[in-house]
């Protein structure tokens, strides 16, 4: 009986542990991506400038700037419209939403990553059109 209990405890300890890599790379991104037509249309749209877009695994890295004090109170969301345009490759429209109530005159640049794994469509790639940027980026998976 005691041996069985020890084996059960060892089994729980061994199989109960999980690593952060179990869910792919999404845990390495700063934020998730929201898919919502309502938020895409109605989320805050304070002024910002997108400087650069890059993709590393399932994370879209956005380098952007806006006016403010230090950017610590900014509320940011990457929002997908929910529409998938049938083209080759398929396309999705997104926007970076910023709520900025800082009243300072500094110009701050930040870089954040967003998990875009929920934007995958049939096939192995999708073009992401970031509407408040001059850039589009191809997400290949």
Q: Write out the chain's pLDDT in tens, 141 residues.
A: 544 434 444 444 444 433 333 334 445 999 999 999 999 999 999 999 999 999 999 999 999 999 999 999 999 999 999 999 999 999 999 999 999 999 999 999 999 999 999 999 999 999 999 999 988 999 999
Coil, helix or strand for 76? strand
pLDDT at site 36 = 98
Domain membership flag for residue 54: yes
Residue 3 lies inside a defined structural domain of this protein: no
Q: Could you tell me if residue 10 is inside a domain? A: no
- b/e sequence 11-24, b meaning 16+ C-beta within 10 Å: eeeeeeeeeeeeee
Domain housing 26: 22-140
The residue behind tokens 């954040």 is 112
For residues 63 and 51, give the distance between their C-alpha atoms in angstroms, rounded to a whole number. Answer: 5
For the chain, the domain total comes to 1
Identify whether 11 is part of a domain: no
CATH of the domain at 57: 2.60.40.2370
Q: Which pair of tokens denotes residue 72?
A: 């610590």
Q: pLDDT at position 130, please? A: 97
Could you give the CA distance from residue 127 to residue 119 in angstroms, rounded to a whole number? 10
Task: Phi first, then psi: give them for residue 101, nearest 5 degrees.
Answer: -110, 15
pLDDT at 27: 59
Q: Is 9 inside any structural domain?
A: no
Is 8 inside any structural domain? no
């Amino acid at each position: 009986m005691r041996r069985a209990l020890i084996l059960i405890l060892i089994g729980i300890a061994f199989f109960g542990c999980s690593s952060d890599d179990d869910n792919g790379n999404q845990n390495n991104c700063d934020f998730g991506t929201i898919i919502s037509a309502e938020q895409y249309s109605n989320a805050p749209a304070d002024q910002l400038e997108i400087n650069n877009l890059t993709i590393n695994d399932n994370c879209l890295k956005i380098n952007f700037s806006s006016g403010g004090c230090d950017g610590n109170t900014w509320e940011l969301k990457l929002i997908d419209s929910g529409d998938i345009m049938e083209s080759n490759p398929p396309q999705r429209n997104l926007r970076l939403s910023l709520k900025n109530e800082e009243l300072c005159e500094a110009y701050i640049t930040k870089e954040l990553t967003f998990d875009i794994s929920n934007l995958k469509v049939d096939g192995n790639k999708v073009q992401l059109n970031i509407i408040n940027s001059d850039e589009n980026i191809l997400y290949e998976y």
